[in-house]
Structure 1
Amino acid sequence: MANDYHPYRTHRRRKKTRAGRLGLAGALTGALGITAVAATIVIIRPGGDPGGEARPTLAGQGSVEAGPSVPSPDAGPPLNFTTPEGYGYSLAAVEAGTDPAPLGATKPPPPGTTYAYADYILTNNQRRPVLLDYPADLFMPKAQVPSSARERCMPQAGIPDDMCTLPNRSEVTARIGGAEPPVDENGTMMIPAGATYLVRIASELPVEDGVSADDLRLFVWNARYTSDLTGIELAFPDDAG
């Protein structure tokens, strides 16, 4: 009777042996596969140094430069603004003037004209990132805008009737006190918590050469920042007394 079970036992041992060989072959194949994957990871690791540390860049979390770090300039009294989304900003006017290229290379203005600009301090006064936005707008006397551009110089509610704003653009030109640069969060530029920047706003259409710094004003008038349709002026240091 014992012999009756012997072939069965032998068959099981053979199955185990065959299974063991298959398992070993599978393990070797898996090990080779892992080695190949590991080799691939080393090849594509940033920096080209298999022994170095990889520094992955997370999509949507890159940053951009925002000019040099500078000391805080003299400025007028700061004013605080809050948007309906809860973003909070502090703004303070620094200076105004004219320049044929206030934001670097641009189309030269026609003879007898120049471009207007103003600088102001923009601060995220919250403990979280806020949208990089430019609340202030540059206004000039409508009488000192060339007739060719006067139709593009728009009055705004709550601003003196003799003043208007031309198409313009704003840029962060410096970081104040070592502030972190703006951060790109999924395609949206954000100001880090507590960061302070120097912003320049410049007209894209010319004004007459005779425009002086005293003629130019900075107002916050957009309904996102002021709900009573009244333009709020940012006083320059000399005006603040």
Structure 2
Amino acid sequence: MSNSHNGYHSHRRRKHSTAGRLGLAGAVAGVVGIAAVAGGIVFLRTGTDTGDKTARPSLASQGDSGAQGSAGPAPKAGPPLNFTTPEGYGYSLAAVRAGTDRHPLGATQAPPDGTSYAYADYVLTNSQRRPVLLDYPADLFMPRSQIPPSALERCMPQAGIPDELCTLPNHSKITARLDGSKPPIDDNGDTMIPAGASYLVRIASDLPVKDALSADALRLYVWNARFTSDRKGIELAFP
């Protein structure tokens, strides 16, 4: 009987232990299941938030680029001249200032000793009541005598411009938006100037000039056939 009794109690203990293990396993499974559900909810919410953020248009897609110059008042400028392209885009240009600088457009490679870069500033205005293509009609000219020998062959004359002047490779950049003008906008890949907007533009040479070059010797001309029908250079007078 004792064996039977001991066996009975032994069986009850094993059954109780098994039930305990099953209960513990069920509890753990329940916790894991709840955690999985909670994790699924968090994942779905995160995915939904990400989708919302992706769906919002960026500033770039709206054409609001902060890189297009800071806002400021219109500077003193020379007499404005009006130009119209064959497509019907209208622009007004007025020269502001010219000079030389070792870094006319910010972080650029410093020129060799004894040289600098030439630059000029002018006001570019959309003279129409509709957006027009962002273009830079003015070109910077300087005396050939002030070009280092290493860059002289890159300084090109142009028809309708005095023979003693030439233009080096250069690039232009909007440095300020004037009188509350809105920044350029994107129109299917084309950068447009909003109606009536005015910008301060700086054009700077990519190749150096001699340090002896004075600001008074620099000239701004519009000579491209898109803006002048007779291919004659039109000078923008400084104030």
Q: Secondary structure of the residue that 1:179 maps to in structure 2? A: coil
Secondary structure of 1:149's aligned partner: helix
Q: Distance in 2 between matches of 1:42 and 1:204?
A: 47
Aligned to 1:44: 51
Larger radius of gyration: 2
Q: How many residues align?
A: 195
- Alignment-derived partner of residue 116 in structure 1: 118
**1:80 counterpart letter in structure 2:** N
Structure 2 equivalent of residue 222 of structure 1: 224
Distance 2:236 2:203 in 1: 13
1:138 maps to 140
Aligned to 2:183: 181
SS in 1 for 2:141: strand
Q: Secondary structure at 2:145's aligned position in 1?
A: helix
Letter in 2 for 1:123: T
Is the deviation greater in 207-216 or in 64-73? 64-73
Residue 18 (structure 1) aligns with = none
Aligned equivalents of 2:134 and 2:172: distance in 1?
11
Give me the whole-angstrom Cα distance separating, in 2, the residues matched to 1:234 and 1:125.
17
Partner of residue 65, structure 2? 64
Structure 1 residue 191: deviation in Å? 0.4
Q: Provide, for residues 91-120 of structure 1, a one-character-per-residue CA deviation record: whole Å limited to 9, x for no partner.
A: 000000000000011111111100000000
How far apart are 1:40 and its partner, in Å?
7.0
Identical counterparts, % of pairs: 70
Residues 63 and 184 of structure 2 are in contact (CA less than 8 Å); yes or no, is this contact kept in structure 1? Answer: no
Task: Check the 8 A contact 1:138/1:216 in 2, yes or no.
Answer: yes
Q: Read off the aligned partner of 1:69 and give its amino acid letter.
A: A
**Alignment TM-score, normalising by the size of structure 1:** 0.76
CA positional deviation for 1:43: 5.6
| Match in the other structure for 2:174 | 172
RMSD, aligned CA: 2.1
1:34 counterpart residue number: none
Q: CA 1:138/1:55 → structure 2, altered by over 3 Å: closer, same or farther?
A: same
Counterpart pick for 1:156 among 149, 155, 158? 158
The 2-side partners of 1:43 and 1:211 are apart by 57
1:117, 1:40 → 2: CA distance? Answer: 51
Give, in whole Å, the separation in 2 of the partners of 1:169 and 1:92.
18
Q: Which runs of 5+ in 2 are unaligned?
A: 1-43
CA distance in 2 between partners of 1:69 and 1:58 (Å) = 17
Q: Which string of whole-angstrom CA distances, capped at 9 and with x for unpartnered residues, describes residues 41-71 of structure 1?
A: 6661128xxxxxx854599543312111111
Residues 111-170 of structure 1, C-alpha deviation per residue, up to 9 Å, x if partnerless?
A: 110000000000001011101000000000001100110000000000000000000000
Unmatched 5+ stretches in structure 1: 1-36, 48-53
Could you tell me the TM-score, scaled by structure 2's length? 0.77
